[in-house]
Amino acid sequence: MNLQEAQAFFAQDHYAAQATGIRILSAGGEDTRCALQVEERHQNAHGFLMGGVYFTLADYTFAVATNTPEENVMAISANISFLQPPADKELTSSARCLHQGGRTCVWIISLWDGQGNQTASVTFTGYRKKRLPKEEPPCKTE
Protein backbone atom coordinates (compact mmCIF):
# COMPACT_ATOMS: atom_id res chain seq x y z
CA MET A 1 0.00 0.00 0.00
CA ASN A 2 1.49 3.36 -0.96
CA LEU A 3 1.34 6.49 1.20
CA GLN A 4 -1.80 7.96 -0.40
CA GLU A 5 -3.67 4.64 -0.18
CA ALA A 6 -2.65 4.24 3.47
CA GLN A 7 -3.70 7.78 4.34
CA ALA A 8 -7.10 7.26 2.69
CA PHE A 9 -7.68 3.85 4.31
CA PHE A 10 -6.55 4.84 7.81
CA ALA A 11 -8.46 8.14 7.76
CA GLN A 12 -11.34 5.85 8.80
CA ASP A 13 -9.54 5.35 12.14
CA HIS A 14 -11.36 8.27 13.69
CA TYR A 15 -9.67 8.21 17.08
CA ALA A 16 -6.02 8.03 16.00
CA ALA A 17 -6.30 10.10 12.84
CA GLN A 18 -8.82 12.71 13.92
CA ALA A 19 -9.01 12.91 17.72
CA THR A 20 -5.25 12.71 18.36
CA GLY A 21 -3.95 14.17 15.09
CA ILE A 22 -1.49 11.39 14.16
CA ARG A 23 -0.13 11.67 10.61
CA ILE A 24 1.22 8.88 8.40
CA LEU A 25 4.60 9.93 6.99
CA SER A 26 5.36 6.69 5.09
CA ALA A 27 3.64 3.33 4.80
CA GLY A 28 4.60 -0.22 4.03
CA GLY A 29 5.91 -2.70 6.58
CA GLU A 30 9.23 -1.66 8.04
CA ASP A 31 9.16 1.60 6.05
CA THR A 32 6.17 2.80 8.10
CA ARG A 33 6.62 6.09 9.95
CA CYS A 34 3.98 8.14 11.75
CA ALA A 35 4.15 11.42 13.65
CA LEU A 36 2.26 13.47 16.20
CA GLN A 37 2.56 17.13 17.10
CA VAL A 38 2.22 17.18 20.90
CA GLU A 39 -0.40 19.65 22.08
CA GLU A 40 -1.79 20.67 25.46
CA ARG A 41 -4.71 18.24 25.00
CA HIS A 42 -2.20 15.34 25.05
CA GLN A 43 -0.88 16.22 28.53
CA ASN A 44 -1.83 14.76 31.90
CA ALA A 45 -2.55 16.78 35.06
CA HIS A 46 1.20 17.10 35.76
CA GLY A 47 1.88 18.54 32.30
CA PHE A 48 3.55 15.39 30.96
CA LEU A 49 2.53 13.48 27.87
CA MET A 50 -0.21 10.95 28.72
CA GLY A 51 0.92 7.33 28.45
CA GLY A 52 -2.07 6.62 26.24
CA VAL A 53 -0.74 9.07 23.65
CA TYR A 54 2.50 7.10 23.32
CA PHE A 55 0.49 3.88 23.07
CA THR A 56 -1.96 5.27 20.51
CA LEU A 57 0.87 6.46 18.27
CA ALA A 58 2.55 3.03 18.54
CA ASP A 59 -0.72 1.13 17.98
CA TYR A 60 -1.55 3.21 14.90
CA THR A 61 1.96 2.68 13.53
CA PHE A 62 1.60 -1.09 14.08
CA ALA A 63 -1.74 -0.99 12.24
CA VAL A 64 -0.31 0.95 9.27
CA ALA A 65 2.71 -1.38 9.11
CA THR A 66 0.70 -4.62 9.13
CA ASN A 67 -2.77 -3.95 7.68
CA THR A 68 -4.17 -3.42 4.20
CA PRO A 69 -7.79 -3.18 3.05
CA GLU A 70 -7.55 -6.90 2.20
CA GLU A 71 -5.64 -8.07 5.28
CA ASN A 72 -6.60 -7.60 8.92
CA VAL A 73 -3.93 -7.93 11.60
CA MET A 74 -4.99 -7.21 15.16
CA ALA A 75 -2.89 -6.79 18.26
CA ILE A 76 -3.31 -9.64 20.73
CA SER A 77 -0.74 -8.35 23.21
CA ALA A 78 1.41 -5.28 23.72
CA ASN A 79 4.10 -4.21 26.16
CA ILE A 80 5.22 -0.61 26.46
CA SER A 81 8.40 0.74 28.04
CA PHE A 82 8.48 4.47 28.73
CA LEU A 83 12.09 5.61 28.43
CA GLN A 84 12.01 9.39 28.83
CA PRO A 85 9.73 12.37 28.18
CA PRO A 86 10.10 14.01 24.79
CA ALA A 87 12.46 16.98 24.68
CA ASP A 88 10.20 18.85 22.24
CA LYS A 89 6.70 18.78 20.76
CA GLU A 90 7.23 16.31 17.89
CA LEU A 91 6.92 12.53 18.27
CA THR A 92 7.80 10.19 15.42
CA SER A 93 7.42 6.42 15.29
CA SER A 94 9.16 3.68 13.34
CA ALA A 95 8.30 -0.01 12.87
CA ARG A 96 10.51 -3.10 12.89
CA CYS A 97 9.35 -6.67 12.35
CA LEU A 98 10.90 -9.34 14.57
CA HIS A 99 8.84 -12.35 13.50
CA GLN A 100 6.37 -13.10 10.72
CA GLY A 101 4.62 -16.45 11.05
CA GLY A 102 1.66 -17.86 9.20
CA ARG A 103 -0.85 -16.15 11.48
CA THR A 104 1.20 -14.34 14.10
CA CYS A 105 3.77 -11.57 13.97
CA VAL A 106 5.88 -9.63 16.45
CA TRP A 107 6.78 -5.99 15.85
CA ILE A 108 8.68 -3.35 17.81
CA ILE A 109 7.47 0.21 17.44
CA SER A 110 9.97 2.85 18.58
CA LEU A 111 8.98 6.41 19.41
CA TRP A 112 11.40 9.32 19.06
CA ASP A 113 11.27 13.02 19.82
CA GLY A 114 12.32 15.63 17.29
CA GLN A 115 15.87 15.66 18.68
CA GLY A 116 16.39 11.95 18.03
CA ASN A 117 15.91 10.75 21.62
CA GLN A 118 14.00 7.49 21.96
CA THR A 119 11.06 8.11 24.29
CA ALA A 120 9.28 4.73 24.30
CA SER A 121 9.36 1.23 22.86
CA VAL A 122 6.30 -0.96 22.32
CA THR A 123 6.37 -4.65 21.41
CA PHE A 124 3.23 -5.93 19.71
CA THR A 125 2.18 -9.50 19.00
CA GLY A 126 -0.35 -9.54 16.20
CA TYR A 127 -2.78 -12.11 14.86
CA ARG A 128 -3.52 -12.27 11.14
CA LYS A 129 -7.08 -13.35 10.36
CA LYS A 130 -6.02 -14.89 7.04
CA ARG A 131 -2.94 -17.10 6.93
CA LEU A 132 0.03 -15.87 4.86
CA PRO A 133 0.90 -18.03 1.84
CA LYS A 134 4.08 -20.12 2.23
CA GLU A 135 5.90 -18.10 -0.45
CA GLU A 136 5.37 -14.84 1.47
CA PRO A 137 8.81 -13.55 2.56
CA PRO A 138 9.45 -13.32 6.30
CA CYS A 139 10.21 -9.98 7.85
CA LYS A 140 13.76 -8.74 7.71
CA THR A 141 15.92 -9.74 10.65
CA GLU A 142 19.36 -8.50 11.49
**pLDDT band at residue 17 under the 50/70/90 scheme:** confident
What is the domain class of 3-128 according to CATH?
A: alpha beta
- Rounded Cα distance between 49 and 117, Å, is 15
| Predicted confidence (pLDDT) at residue 137 exceeds the cutoff of 60 | no
| Predicted confidence (pLDDT) at residue 82 exceeds the cutoff of 60 | yes
Residues in the chain: 142
The pLDDT assigned to 133 comes to: 62
- Render pLDDT for 40-65 as a digit per residue (tens, 0 to 9): 999 999 999 999 999 999 999 999 99
The pLDDT assigned to 130 comes to: 75
Domain boundaries along the sequence of the chain: 3-128
The pLDDT assigned to 69 comes to: 82
The pLDDT assigned to 18 comes to: 86
Reading phi first (left if > 0) and then psi (alpha if -120 to 50, else beta), residue 122 is in beta
Pairing verdict, β 118-128 and 73-82: antiparallel
* pTM exceeding 0.95: no
| Predicted confidence (pLDDT) at residue 125 exceeds the cutoff of 50 | yes
Contact partners, residue 108, CB within 8 Å, separation at least 6:
95, 96, 98, 121, 122, 123, 124
- Rounded Cα distance between 81 and 56, Å, is 14
| Predicted confidence (pLDDT) at residue 138 exceeds the cutoff of 60 | no
- Rounded Cα distance between 94 and 74, Å, is 18
